[in-house]
């Protein structure tokens, strides 16, 4: 079975915008395709696989592993818990590494705009705001930071059960488009209300991320992280899960291991040195954690580079 699967009862499109046999897409709305990527072993997948016949935009959330969003000459590393929008036209590409698990919603804005306006507007989808959000703020790429509803809906699409396929996922895609249109309206300067509680959760989650990535050599605990964020451990864990989409330690461990994988490219560094740089004083524990995350030991990973 291919690692790249779509789990929806909607009709299977003959002209998948990803292209190539490794991609299995389902068109859930006219001009919108859903692609769920599981954890089964697989080599790197590139989207689109060859020239795309359509002007596509990818809206994606990374749960585990890593992917690269390429726009022009710039490569953006997407880590667990992060979401982004990328225009795939021209030089836009998404490289899904072998350990990637996540969701990708592919949108063709032209076909979407050609749909009956009432079919989207009755769900409060602002088509002008949606168009603004889908073009990545003008650069063709944007990280979806500070907009927790979009990653939240993407995570719900990933977690929907087999019995909730067709209609449920179609509604979730419409909800995703609505939340993206809110982002677009905010770009245009519209007044978009946001609850105080949600804003506080965003502050806590992004502050926690900054602290965890600021000094990897010194591991941080949940209680210490909560104190630095001026909140309780319970609120920290709730806020991080709500905003980022994964538990604090899941994200933290994955970030450290993927940073270690990057450092292993420098063969002048010993594996013990790399372990210490990402906060592991015990090389054997580092090796075990690395293998659990990447599917290979550090030495095997380095040999495969």
Residue range(s) occupied by CATH 1.10.10.60 in the chain: 196-304
Question: Does domain 196-304 sit in CATH 1.10.10.60?
Answer: yes
280 pLDDT exceeds 90?
A: yes
286 pLDDT exceeds 90?
A: yes
Q: Domain 4-187: give its CATH superfamily.
A: Jelly Rolls (2.60.120.10)
| Model pLDDT, residue 284 | 92
Strand partners, 45: 96
4 pLDDT exceeds 80?
A: no
Per the confidence metrics, is the pTM higher than 0.85? no
Residue range(s) occupied by CATH 2.60.120.10 in the chain: 4-187
Minimum mean pLDDT range among 150-164, 178-192, 247-261, 269-283: 178-192
Predicted confidence band of residue 243 (pLDDT cuts 50, 70, 90) = confident
Q: What is the mean pLDDT of residues 120-137?
A: 69
50 pLDDT exceeds 60?
A: no
| Model pLDDT, residue 278 | 93
114 exposure class (CB count in 10 Å sphere: 0-12, 13-18, 19+): exposed
| Model pLDDT, residue 184 | 77
| Model pLDDT, residue 2 | 34
């Amino acid at each position: 079975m291919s690692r790249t699967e779509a789990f929806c009862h909607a009709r299977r499109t003959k002209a998948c915008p990803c292209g190539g046999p490794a991609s299995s897409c389902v068109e859930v709305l006219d001009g919108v395709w859903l692609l769920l990527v599981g954890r089964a072993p697989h080599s790197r997948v590139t989207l689109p696989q060859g020239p795309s016949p359509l002007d596509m935009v990818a809206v994606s959330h990374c749960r585990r592993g890593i992917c690269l969003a390429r726009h022009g000459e710039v490569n953006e590393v997407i880590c667990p818990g992060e979401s982004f929008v990328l225009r795939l036209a021209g030089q836009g590409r998404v490289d899904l590494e072998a350990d990637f698990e996540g969701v990708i919603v592919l949108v063709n804005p032209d076909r979407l705009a050609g749909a009956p306006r009432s079919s989207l507007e009755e769900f409060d989808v602002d088509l002008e705001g949606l168009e603004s959000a889908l073009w990545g703020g003008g650069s063709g790429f944007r990280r979806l930071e500070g907009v927790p509803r979009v990653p939240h809906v993407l995570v719900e699409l990933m977690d929907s059960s087999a019995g909730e396929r067709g209609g449920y996922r179609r509604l979730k895609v419409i909800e995703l488009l609505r939340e993206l249109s809110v982002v677009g309206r905010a770009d245009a300067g519209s007044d978009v209300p946001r609850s105080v509680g949600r804003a506080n959760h965003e502050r806590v989650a992004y502050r926690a991320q900054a602290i965890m990535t600021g000094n990897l050599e010194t591991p941080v605990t949940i209680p210490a992280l909560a104190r630095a964020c001026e909140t309780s451990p319970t609120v920290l864990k709730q806020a991080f899960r709500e905003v980022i989409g994964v538990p604090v330690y899941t994200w933290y461990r994955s970030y450290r291991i993927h940073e270690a994988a990057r450092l292993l490219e420098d063969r002048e560094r010993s594996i013990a040195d790399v372990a210490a740089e990402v906060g592991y004083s015990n090389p054997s524990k580092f090796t075990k954690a690395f293998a659990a995350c990447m599917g290979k030991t550090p030495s095997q990973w380095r040999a495969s580079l």
